Chain A
């Protein structure tokens, strides 16, 4: 639930609170994302060059994606 200073977003399908006016980069740090990773913001690819200047709003969804085994 959002408060006056925080907003609620979703990271990897789970609710996550970040401070208002947080960037994607800040949210990833708080999430403790382990590099290397790539990101979807609201189901669209977000280039890593945009993390520091993309601001999150209530209800945004982030997917933090990393390498796994594949065939």
Chain B
């Protein structure tokens, strides 16, 4: 048996990526730390957003040039949208501005936990897919909503682990596993709530394809080091998934051979 992992990319609408970490560009202490952390993560996809321009503040050109200098795939989001119309308009602006048909579709259904609005999400997804977008919907871990999104043509789903920015990890592993098992052909990316590398490892171990992160890296005391830690955690989880986890047991089973007697009584 070879212990060499062969080429093992994750696929987003036909684009193959070697890194299973997608990273956000928000909340870093400084633009330079953002750039260093993103590079340290090894991510090939970076998320970004849109806001009203203030010409007196250079119109966001500094940020735009910094992002472009990274040379990564861009994944614009529709953060802050509450209605289908808002999200569709924001997606169209993003496509024109960033020259990509990828859109991380976010529709807030509740301001307390920023839970996605599943009904509006499905409606907006239908409109955008018909308009040629490649939709990456930020959804809850509801299996039936996942089914609707897949039926509409989504090749990627991005269920939450827990609410955005909470760092609580995977609150409902059973639900995520159900989505994994029901849609083995879909690229699953856990988006939001991943607070530490072990959360990411856990997700990858269960067959989740990738992780989208922001706060856990950006709010670390050392974002660059944390980005590296997440990259390692994700790699470990993926390797473990490919290697095949042992079956859990309810009773103990000795790992040391018990033939005849304890080893100190055995004679070589």
Contacts and interface: CB of A to CB of B under 8 A. Distances in A.
Interface in B49-91: 49-55, 58-61, 63-64, 67, 76-77, 79, 85, 88-89
Contacts of A39: 93
Given A43-B89, A71-B47, A13 B77 contact: no
Contact of A33 (B26, B59, B77, B164): B59
Nearest to B48: A70
B48 A67 contact: yes
Interface stretch (B94-102, B139-147, B171-179, B260-268): B94-102
A71 B24 contact: yes
B211 interface: no
B25 A69 contact: yes
Given A67-B64, A67-B97, A71-B47, A37 B53 contact: yes
B92 interface: yes
B34 interface: yes
A63 B96 contact: no
A61 to B, nearest CB: 12
A70 B60 contact: no
Given A33-B53, A69-B48, A48 B64 contact: no
B201 interface: no
Interface in A25-49: 31-40, 43-45, 47-48
A66 B27 contact: no
Contacts of B50: 38, 65-68, 70
B162 interface: no
B41 interface: no
Contacts of B77: 70-71
A12 interface: yes
Contact of B25 (A36, A38, A65, A71): A71
Contacts of B48: 67-70
A62 B63 CA distance: 23
A6 to B, nearest CB: 20
A67 B67 contact: yes
Interface in B229-264: none
A64 interface: yes
Given A33-B59, A37-B59, A70 B97 contact: no
Nearest to B65: A67
A71 B164 contact: yes
A40 B50 CA distance: 12
Contact of A71 (B27, B88, B93): B27
30 contacts: A12-B53, A33-B55, A33-B59, A34-B53, A34-B55, A34-B61, A38-B93, A38-B97, A45-B88, A45-B89, A45-B93, A47-B96, A65-B50, A65-B52, A65-B53, A65-B97, A66-B51, A66-B59, A66-B64, A67-B60, A67-B67, A68-B48, A68-B50, A69-B27, A69-B34, A69-B49, A69-B63, A71-B47, A71-B79, A71-B215
Interface of B: 24-28, 34, 47-55, 58-61, 63-64, 67, 76-77, 79, 85, 88-89, 92-94, 96-98, 164, 214-215
Closest 7 CB pairs of A and B: A70-B49, A34-B59, A71-B24, A71-B214, A38-B93, A69-B26, A45-B92
